[in-house]
Amino acid sequence: MTNINIKTSIATLLASIFLSGTSALALDKVHLQTDWIPSGEHAMYFGGWQKGFWKDEGIDIKVTRGYGSGDTVTKIATGAADFGVADIGALLTAKARTNVPVKTIMQLYTHSPHSLFVLKSSGIKNFRGLEGKKIGVAGGSLDKSWLFLRAYAIKKYEKDPLTFFKTSFAAPPLINGLLRNDQLDAGYNYWNYTARLEALGYEEFLTLKDILPYIGIEGELPLIGYVFREGFIQKNEVTLNGFIKASNEARKILKTSDNEWLRISEMTGAKNQLMLEKIRDGFRKGIPSDNHQLMRKNIQHAYKILSQIGGEELVGSSTSLASGTYWNK
């Protein structure tokens, strides 16, 4: 696989999806906002759109990039987009603080969004080896994965990463760049970015999957999902169901077909075959089961942990998960 001009590929993707509906006058027009620049975790939209799954369900989909999950939730709440992709933590916070008219319905990933990565030759093999080291963290100081890491370290080691590390918060691509330039000792980044690091000689030694059982969360935890404006749900249930069906079809084919990943490789930003395989495998790890009861139980417990560590700055005065967070058909 040759090197790819990622910016060109992304621009081509978004322009193509936007323009694809101009000849489909009979289709329902729907605006989807992602949580970030399209990359590996957005493979369902690349594959599903190119296969025509949404068109088959009568949907003319327009996709725009997001600027973080918080931005996406805000855009959905204000009607700037019909529905989007967002980190569940951003939705929980927005519901707790301002009760935004947004719900989540379909969980897209339960795989760890964050992992701690170091260069294999660094000599860092465990959490204690990070003391005093420069750590780059994707997201902000109230990101759920960072708060889970803090809860884990406080409970297991009686150490708060806020003071145990020399922490810098930055955008995911910047963290990878700083790691490659030896300006950081470790990175705590999203899976689709750590997949790229694995292909460059870095290794994962602590994941959210390792962390969650230690803080009392067993089994799947919904981490990223579709979010919908309540008004859209009430008026467009047929379209909503069609979108979910198309998403399931896209996810199904990407779960089983390696050839589909080769077909959309340029859209994922993978620079070579190994990187594509890491992105593909990370996507597949995160495909959730149908155990919605367990996931909702876990999100209730997760909310308690997040509110304890994040405090009022994160959830305001709320002490429990806001009712109406999930849409029940």
Question: Has residue 84 been placed in a domain?
Answer: yes
Question: Has residue 28 been placed in a domain?
Answer: yes
Residue predicted with more confidence, 98 or 40: 98
**Given a cut of 80, is residue 162 above it in pLDDT?**
yes
**What tens digit of pLDDT does each residue of 261-270 get?**
888 888 777 8
Q: 122 and 101 share a domain?
A: no
Which tokens sit at 313?
């700055």
Residue 3 has a pLDDT of: 38
Query: What is the arithmetic mean of pLDDT over 285-290?
Result: 80
User: Among residues 214, 245, 264, which one ends one of the domains?
Assistant: 214
Q: 119 and 197 share a domain?
A: yes
Distance of CA 317 to the CA centre of its chain: 26
Q: 32 and 85 share a domain?
A: yes
Dihedral sign, Cα of residue 310, residue 311, residue 312, residue 317? positive
Estimate the crossing angle of helix 43-51 against helix 6-19, to 10 degrees. 50
Residue 285 has a pLDDT of: 81
Amino acid at 72: T
- Rounded to the nearest 5 percent, the helix, strand and coil shares of the chain are 55, 20, 30
Residue 257: give the domain boundaries: 6-110+221-315
Contacts of 216 (CB under 8 A, 6+ apart): 301, 305
Query: What is the arithmetic mean of pLDDT over 16-34?
Result: 63
Residue 41 has a pLDDT of: 62
Q: How confident is the model at residue 12 (pLDDT cuts 50, 70, 90)?
A: very low
Q: Which residues on neighbouring strands pair with residue 207, listed in sequence order? A: 115
Helix or strand (DSSP H, E) at 54: helix 53-56
Amino acid at 78: T
Neighbours of 299 (CB within 10 A): 23
**Given a cut of 80, is residue 148 above it in pLDDT?**
yes
Question: Has residue 324 been placed in a domain?
Answer: no
**Distance (Å, rounded) from C-alpha 203 to C-alpha 82?**
39
Q: 175 and 39 share a domain?
A: no
Residue 1 has a pLDDT of: 42
Q: 194 and 231 share a domain?
A: no
Question: Has residue 326 been placed in a domain?
Answer: no
Q: How confident is the model at residue 11 (pLDDT cuts 50, 70, 90)?
A: very low
**Given a cut of 80, is residue 276 above it in pLDDT?**
yes
∠ CA 168-207-152, nearest 5°, is: 75
**Given a cut of 80, is residue 36 above it in pLDDT?**
no
Question: Has residue 321 been placed in a domain?
Answer: no
Least confident window among 10-14, 118-122, 148-152, 164-168: 10-14
**Given a cut of 50, is residue 19 above it in pLDDT?**
no
User: Among residues 214, 237, 261, which one ends one of the domains?
Assistant: 214
Question: Has residue 185 been placed in a domain?
Answer: yes
Alpha helices in 215-322 (DSSP H): 230-235, 237-256, 258-263, 265-268, 273-285, 292-315
**What tens digit of pLDDT does each residue of 229-253 get?**
888 877 888 888 898 888 888 888 8
**What tens digit of pLDDT does each residue of 38-90 get?**
665 666 666 666 778 888 999 988 888 888 888 999 999 999 998 898 888 88
Q: 204 and 71 share a domain?
A: no
CATH number of domain containing 303: 3.40.190.10
3-state secondary structure 83-115: EEEEEHHHHHHHHHHHCCCEEEEEEEECCCCEE
**What tens digit of pLDDT does each residue of 180-233 get?**
999 999 999 987 788 778 778 888 888 888 899 999 998 888 788 889 988 887
Residue 24 has a pLDDT of: 39
Q: 232 and 174 share a domain?
A: no
Q: 104 and 120 share a domain?
A: no
Q: Which residue has the tokens 């964050």?
A: 114
Q: Which residue has the tokens 């150490």?
A: 159
Q: How many domains does the chain have?
A: 2
User: Among residues 199, 214, 229, which one ends one of the domains?
Assistant: 214
Q: 311 and 238 share a domain?
A: yes
User: How does strand 114-119 pair with strand 186-190?
Assistant: antiparallel
Q: 240 and 272 share a domain?
A: yes
Q: 187 and 51 share a domain?
A: no
Torsion from C-alpha of 109, 112, 117, 120, nearest 10 degrees: -90
Question: Has residue 322 been placed in a domain?
Answer: no
Check residue 321 and report its DSSP letter: P
Helix or strand (DSSP H, E) at 153: helix 144-157
| pTM of the model as a whole | 0.78
Q: 135 and 96 share a domain?
A: no
Q: What is the overall mean pLDDT for the chain?
A: 82
Question: Has residue 328 been placed in a domain?
Answer: no
Query: What is the arithmetic mean of pLDDT over 308-315?
Result: 88
